[in-house]
Structure 1
Amino acid sequence: MAFLRYVRIVARTTFAVVNNLYCIPAYVVWMMALRLVRPLFAPLYWKIEGLMYHWLLAMVSMWAWTAGYEIIETGDEPAACNGRRTLVLANHQSTADVPMLMAAWNPRPGILPNLMWIMDRVFKFTNFGIVSVLHEDFFIQAGKSKREQSLEDLRQHIHKWYIPLARQFIVLFPEGGFLHKRREVSQRFAEKNNLPKLEYVSLPRAGAMKVIMEEVGPHRDQGASTSKENSKKDNNFNQSNAKLIVESNVGESIEWVLDVTIAYPDRIPLHLQDVVCGIRPACATHLHYRLYPSTEVPADTEGMTQWLYDRFVEKDQMLEEFYRTGKFPTKGSGPHLTRVVRQDNLKYLILHIFFIASTYIQFTMARAIFNYFW
């Protein structure tokens, strides 16, 4: 049995490498080719890009699905966010968090093509980094010395891409790092500042959320702290690049805050190598959703920070109960979601055929061009 398990791990790893080789370059080549006509057909370009971006993320969801890593969604129904600008807040435990979110949202229409990830800059230099660059996700730099500049870059990025492209979902991990790296620092900070010492999450940082809510929140006209000079610059940018705006019914400001609590079995998080190689035995990951109208978030810095702290204190309490009982606590009397995420194997097959065919066509065209000139 041990031998077969190692064979399976090697086979899955080999498949993942090959899968990357015929999917990511195909996406990049098509997008780079279409960039030549983007100035003339910007809405069509971004529609195609969003679709192909979703297809690539579907490949990642397939890795988790075929490894037997089931996802169970509970809590509020996130479908209420469809067609609305939404800030997604999630706790951060491991490198598997993003793939599991991709897998959970893959069957839900309209989410993956229309989201913007806020991720550590290190991710930019991975195999998937070029995809995120072309999709205009945002890479934030860690460290005190770069924090202020990163937040200002985020402010500009929102006006340059998030708003004009009518993106709906913006995904943020407010803890600023993995739990095992942040817990001890968080607890020392909590003790020093008379804040709750959290065990299952760490105290969040409110800087990025503050920027987002200032620029596209419901109180942005009241609480925005950008200077008149920056505002004028942003307005001039948007006017000169109006052709980049994708027509959509999405509102002008964020209407919902979707709070996602990720819980792994036995407090042991999955990791990217598990998702890719299937190292860990099959198990279920739980995603618990809570929806808040964005108008509930205070506009002032102190109030917003306290609101965010309260959410993570609740997360800590919910995770404590989950690890003790196997269930998340219910809240309120409204309808609550309990759903096992199911993937579409036929869709996976069609996507494999598309990317393999794309790779073949692109290789044939490249060889023909090479032979013509040389």
Structure 2
Amino acid sequence: TVVEWGDDVKAVSEDEAMVLVNHQATGDVCTLMMCLQDKGTVVRQMMWLMDHIFKYTNFGIVSLIHGDFFIRQGRAHRDQQLVLLKEHLEKYYRSRNRKWIVLFPEGGFLRKRRETSQAFAKKNNLPFLKHVTLPRLGATQVILKTLVAPQENGNPAGRDAVIKESKSKGLQWVIDTTIAYSKGEPIDIQTWILGYRQPTVTHVHYRIFPVKDVPAEPEALTNWLYQRFIEKEDLLTHFYETG
């Protein structure tokens, strides 16, 4: 069972939006798909940014055909992957009539990134987070630069070929989405398919921001993203303490 809280995302289902989600397990994708089934045509018109490991799951071939983007993690691949992402968005996002784009800004599962993120936070005098990790800027910045209409959040006019070649208004919203699993025990895809865990309730919280309120400048955008994940930490801490 999934229970949804916060802002009504169905109200913006006909607009273009970027969905930012905390990442704990492969089952996060299944959880979101379940939530979005009743949100108009969103499921048919969304693009996913997922770790390349998802390419080898049961829905990997479907995602490839659907035009989703599989991103390779790691510093060695980072710059090249961002170039490939920009090219992918320019080629497929509007030509396939996509409206929502979903990404996991942490760049990996919580259990894999937590220690590295905490070390980075300590070194740079940033908050110590246990239930999320500090997000990475790269993919979020590429999406905003490529899909936000000129002047919507400070982007110079005329920079965006994807916008110019379509009648789209560009991205209008950023939907900050927080997934909370019971007792902090995430569900993976195998569990979703085989059902070998006891029935549980997963909670999903939404907060909607107009894209015009999201800064375009890298340092300001980084701080804005950090603040969203600090808020996620507070939400999850409260949830795990109170249920």
* Aligned counterparts, 1:158-307, within 5 A: 158-218=89-149, 219=151, 222-223=154-155, 251-307=168-224
Q: Distance in 1 between matches of 2:152 and 2:88?
A: 16
Q: Which has the higher helix share?
A: 1
CA shift, 1:221, in A, is: 8.7
* Aligned counterparts, 1:322-361, within 5 A: 322-326=239-243
Identity among equivalent pairs (%): 45
Q: What is the TM-score with the length of structure 2 in the denominator? A: 0.93
User: In the alignment, is the contact (CA less than 8 A) between 1:256 and 1:293 conserved in 2?
Assistant: yes
SS in 2 for 1:119: strand
Q: What per-residue deviation string (whole Å, max 9, x for no partner) do you get for residues 74-125 of structure 1?
A: 1110012121110000000111110111111113221110000001122223
Runs of 4+ in 1 over 6 A off after TM superposition: none
CA shift, 1:151, in A, is: 0.4
2:4 maps to: 73
Q: Distance in 1 between matches of 2:10 and 2:59?
A: 28
Q: Distance in 2 between matches of 1:275 and 1:130?
A: 18
Question: Of the two, which has the highest radius of gyration?
Answer: 1
CA shift, 1:320, in A, is: 0.6
- Counterpart of 1:254 in structure 2: which amino acid? L
CA shift, 1:222, in A, is: 4.6
- Structure 1 unaligned residues grouped into runs of 5+: 1-69, 240-244, 327-374
Q: Distance in 2 between matches of 1:97 and 1:82?
A: 20
Q: What is the TM-score with the length of structure 1 in the denominator? A: 0.61
2:87 maps to: 156
User: In the alignment, is the contact (CA less than 8 A) between 2:14 and 2:40 conserved in 1?
Assistant: no
- Counterpart of 2:224 in structure 1: which amino acid? W
Residues 160, 220 of structure 1: alpha-carbon distance in 2 compared, 3 angstrom cutoff: farther
1:310 maps to: 227
User: In the alignment, is the contact (CA less than 8 A) between 2:48 and 2:69 conserved in 1?
Assistant: yes
1:38 maps to: none
The alignment's C-alpha RMSD in Å is 2.0
- Structure 2 unaligned residues grouped into runs of 5+: none
Q: What per-residue deviation string (whole Å, max 9, x for no partner) do you get for residues 116-155 of structure 1?
A: 0001122223332221111111111111111111101111
How many residue pairs match? The answer is: 240
SS in 1 for 2:122: helix
Q: Distance in 2 between matches of 1:210 and 1:199?
A: 25
User: In the alignment, is the contact (CA less than 8 A) between 2:10 and 2:40 conserved in 1?
Assistant: no
SS in 2 for 1:107: coil
